[in-house]
Amino acid sequence: MDEHIAGRELDDQRHQEAAGQSDDLAALVAEAARGDGQAWSELIERYARRVYALAKSRLRDPDEAEEVSQAVFASVFQHVSTGRYTERGQFEPWLFRIAMNRIRDQIRRNTRRVRIESHTDRVISVPSEVADESHDLGKLRSAIDSLNDSDQEIIGLRHQAGMEFKAIAELLNEPVGTLLARHHRAMHKLRKLLGVDAQAGVSHE
Amino acid sequence: MSNTTNNHDERDTVMENMLDLLAREDRTEPDAGFEDRIWHAMHQATETRISGRRRKKSTAWIPFVTAACVGVMGYIVWMPMINVDLETNDQTVASVLDDDFSADILLSSFDAMDMLIADAEEVDESLSMLELQIDTNEFEVSVDSTWQDLGGSL
């Protein structure tokens, strides 16, 4: 029950943060477009690590993730400083769209380099004792890895990038309802893979 | 039913907390210089782009000068050849002239035909006159030749 309340509080906090950020984000981007270094520093402060986390969740390689993060910000800087980006309150979806494209390019490059065996939706053996709050995050990482691209995408954008569903909907051009369903499905798969259901002693319908 | 929903919510919360924990770990993974490196890469990319632009500007004259040189070379090489062809009546030029000439003849013969058709009666008369004259001449020639033959034989 405490976990449930903590989760709600986390959601509320995330929502408030997002709302507050969107208010001043447009002004911040406008200042950055005028060449204000402080504004750029703040944008980097706010988004660089989120982009990195998203890249890391998909690429698994810290160096590649940092490389992608640098490429994303170089691209954003060029677009904003040359006036090719017009602020319409969609800076965040736009930035993460660039990030997703860069990540996809990198995945394609890596796939060309090494043909990795596809293991979409494969059930991995995870001992049930690891599936509690303090557990081994490596297992969770492995479980995410075993999801298909679509599920990894929604999990990455929602949790690693810390985006609101509305912003994800703008990014992927999909209705919020569809994304909620996708997220729910991905979570269900993760629970199954990690044995959270078994541990909780609840049978699925 | 509500119990099942609560269980679902609880498990989702557990999962979300785990995922948030994972995200937090990923975000704190890069060292303190991470932002500086991003900043540096951002500006470096722009500088590279600007220097690339400048290099393009400095070489912008090359295609224009090349095109001008090709034009001048073409003028120098081709113009004398055209003059020689006209003066020496090159085959190509001659064939063109022949065609023109034959075309002129054709046109003039058409004119003559028109005139002839217009004066059809006169033509008929002149033709019959010509036939008569030819017949007479042939007779005279044949008579002359007979006497000449006779004289020769005598």
Q: Do B25 and A45 touch (CB under 8 A)?
A: no
In chain A, what percentage of residues exceed pLDDT 90? Answer: 39
A103 and A143 share a domain? no
Triad A196, A202, B3: Cα angle to 5°? 120
Q: Which of A11-20, A42-51, A131-140 has the highest mean pLDDT?
A: A42-51
For residue B14, which residues of chain A lie inside 8 Å, CB to CB? 3, 132-133, 196
Tens-digit pLDDT profile for residues B64-116? 999 999 999 988 888 777 665 555 555 555 455 555 555 555 556 666 666 66
A118 and A48 share a domain? yes
Q: Do B20 and A159 touch (CB under 8 A)?
A: yes
Closest residue to B38, CB basis, from A48, A191, A194: A48
Q: What pLDDT shows up at residue A74?
A: 92
Q: What pLDDT shows up at residue A66?
A: 93
CA–CA dist A73, B46 (Å, integer): 11
Of the candidates B21, B27, B28, B17, the residue with the CA atom closest to the CA atom of residue A187: B17
Which amino acid, one-letter code, is at B15? M
- Mean pLDDT check: name the lowest of A76-90, A134-148, B29-43, B80-94: B80-94
Q: How far is CA A150 from CA A123, A182, A189, B15, in A?
A: 17, 8, 12, 18
Tens-digit pLDDT profile for residues A187-197? 999 888 887 65
Q: Are A57 and A75 in contact (CB under 8 A)?
A: no
Q: What pLDDT shows up at residue B136?
A: 64
Task: For residue A154, give the CATH number of its domain.
Answer: 1.10.10.10
Task: For residue A110, give the CATH number of its domain.
Answer: 1.10.1740.10
ipTM over 0.90: no
Q: What pLDDT shows up at residue A136?
A: 66
For residue A10, which residues of chain B lie inside 8 Å, CB to CB? 16-17, 20
A30 and A103 share a domain? yes
pTM over cut 0.80: no
Of the candidates B47, B46, B49, the residue with the CA atom closest to the CA atom of residue A74: B46
**pLDDT at residue A127 above 50?**
no
HSE (CB half, 13 Å, CA atoms) of B17?
A: 20
For residue B36, which residues of chain A lie inside 8 Å, CB to CB? none
**pLDDT at residue A205 above 50?**
no
Q: Do A4 and B9 touch (CB under 8 A)?
A: yes
**Residue A85 gets which letter from DSSP?**
S
Tens-digit pLDDT profile for residues A6-21? 445 555 555 555 555 5
A65 and A143 share a domain? no
Q: How far is B28 from chain A (nearest CA, A)?
A: 8
Q: Do A49 and B23 touch (CB under 8 A)?
A: no
A26 and A84 share a domain? yes
Which of A95, A111, A127 terminates a domain? The answer is A127
For residue B49, which residues of chain A lie inside 8 Å, CB to CB? 78
Band (pLDDT 50/70/90 cuts) for residue A169 is very high
**Residue A26 gets which letter from DSSP?**
H
> Environment class of residue B108 by beta-carbon count within 10 Å: exposed (0-12), middle (13-18) or buried (19+)?
exposed
Total tally of structural domains belonging to chain A: 2
Q: What pLDDT shows up at residue A30?
A: 87
Which of A127, A154, A170 terminates a domain? The answer is A127
- Mean pLDDT check: name the lowest of A26-40, A120-134, B100-114, B123-137: A120-134
A117 and A139 share a domain? no
A108 and A166 share a domain? no
A101 and A35 share a domain? yes
Q: How far is A117 from chain B (nearest CA, A)?
A: 25
Q: Which of A158-172, B114-128, B130-144 has the highest mean pLDDT?
A: A158-172
Q: How far is A177 from chain B (nearest CA, A)?
A: 17
Q: What pLDDT shows up at residue A44?
A: 92
A84 and A149 share a domain? no
Which of A101, A127, A153 terminates a domain? The answer is A127
In chain B, what percentage of residues exceed pLDDT 90? Answer: 6
A85 and A55 share a domain? yes
**Residue A156 gets which letter from DSSP?**
I
If you write DSSP's letter for every residue of A66-96 in order, what string do you get? Answer: HHHHHHHHHHHHHHHHTT-S--SS-HHHHHH
A139 and A121 share a domain? no
- Domain ranges, residue A24: 1-127
A114 and A161 share a domain? no
Closest residue to B23, CB basis, from A48, A71, A162: A162
Q: What pLDDT shows up at residue A1?
A: 45
Closest residue to A53, CB basis, from B13, B26, B49: B26
Q: Do B27 and A49 touch (CB under 8 A)?
A: yes
Find the radius of gyration of the CA atoms of chain A: 18
Q: Number of Cβ pairs closer than 8 Å across A and B?
A: 122
